[in-house]
Amino acid sequence: MKDSLVRVENLSHRYAVQWAVKDVNFEIPGTGSYGLLGSNGAGKSTTMNILSGVLRQSQGSIFINGIDMSKDPINAKKQIGFLPQTPPLYMDMTVEEFLINCADLRAIPQKEIKLAVEEAMEKCSITHFRKRLLRNLSGGYQQRVGIAQAIIHKPAFIILDEPTNGLDPNQILEIRSLIKEIAEDRAVLLSTHILTEVHAICDYIIMIENGKVVFAGKTEEFDNYLAPNTIFVSFLEMPSIEDLMLIDGIDKVEELGGPNYRLKFPDLAGVSERIVEQSIKHGWRLEEIRVEKNSLNDVFSALSK
């Protein structure tokens, strides 16, 4: 059976006597975009630094394309591209000079460097800035150069730490699009504190809290982790709050303005049907009814406890 692209087994690390992560296990089977979530101090940054080879774990194993990083770190790291939160740019270099230097550091053979640089610049849409000093690029284009250095050696696994941090809305959309394109033929692990960012980019989510994995699965599974407990209703004829509270299964009514209400329930079973029945019985003329999904913040908060 083919090994997963990334396999983390019983990963643990401590600083002095304090464990930052303890017995973390997860797999990244292949291509796609993966979001790494966690509260401040949850162990997310430690996990990312270990995965990128910046930090050596206290215990456990990491396999990249079947290569044990502890036993063969050089070949394992050849499979990895990494963009830290602040792009590691030499501001007095041009885009092309910087990427040539990065290709050389990545041990790309001299005769292949020119092509590797051209392909990375084209992928990140920065070819027209090849002679521009890095200090004279906008934040969005500096971030593109940072991503270009992470993919220049064509790694199978790319780690991006807060890749849209500090960018304006247009730049964020551009970087999101670039990340999704890159994830089509390799695995991208994205760390961010912005939940909407994960929802917009990632196919899968891994969440760490208190040094342990509390969720690993598809983004839609994360969305549906909590059962819904509210229904939005709108009527043409306004019922009173007291009338709505009499419906079996409703334990709270919130007025939203006009004939719109949010009804809270402990158990969804049969609630919608009873609302429709009461609307017909009392002539409220029900116009809209829909079960409301929990927000990403609600799910994150529940998993953080």
Q: What is the pLDDT of residue 269?
A: 80
**Burial class, 107, CB count within 10 angstroms (exposed 0-12 / middle 13-18 / buried 19+):** exposed
**Burial class, 265, CB count within 10 angstroms (exposed 0-12 / middle 13-18 / buried 19+):** buried
Q: Where are the domains of the chain?
A: 6-223, 230-304
* Alpha-carbon dihedral sign for residues 144, 149, 151, 157: negative
CA distance 249 to 269: 9
- Whether the pLDDT of residue 2 is over 70: the answer is no
Q: What is the pLDDT of residue 159?
A: 96
**CATH pick for 230-304 out of 3.30.70, 3.40.50, 3.40.1350, 1.10.3470:** 3.30.70
Q: What is the pLDDT of residue 134?
A: 97
pLDDT tens digits, one per residue of 50-101: 999 999 999 999 999 999 999 999 999 999 999 998 888 999 999 999 999 9
| Residue 302: band (very low, low, confident or very high) from pLDDT cuts 50, 70, 90 | confident
pLDDT tens digits, one per residue of 184-238: 999 999 988 778 888 889 999 999 999 999 999 998 888 878 777 889 999 999 8
CA distance 95 to 104: 14
User: Left, alpha or beta for 243 (phi > 0: left; psi -120 to 50: alpha)?
Assistant: alpha
Q: What is the pLDDT of residue 91?
A: 96
The mean pLDDT value for 171-179 works out to: 90
The domain made up of 6-223 has a fold known as Rossmann fold (3.40.50)
pTM listed for this prediction: 0.80
What DSSP character marks residue 252?
A: E
Equal fold, 6-223 vs 230-304: no
**Location of structure tokens 């009514």:** 253
pLDDT tens digits, one per residue of 99-156: 999 999 999 999 999 999 999 999 999 999 999 999 999 989 999 999 999 999 999 9
pLDDT tens digits, one per residue of 273-289: 999 999 999 999 999 99
Say which residues have a Cβ less than 8 Å from residue 25's Cβ, sequence separation at least 6. Answer: 8, 9, 10, 11, 213
The mean pLDDT value for 237-259 works out to: 91
| Residue 1: band (very low, low, confident or very high) from pLDDT cuts 50, 70, 90 | very low
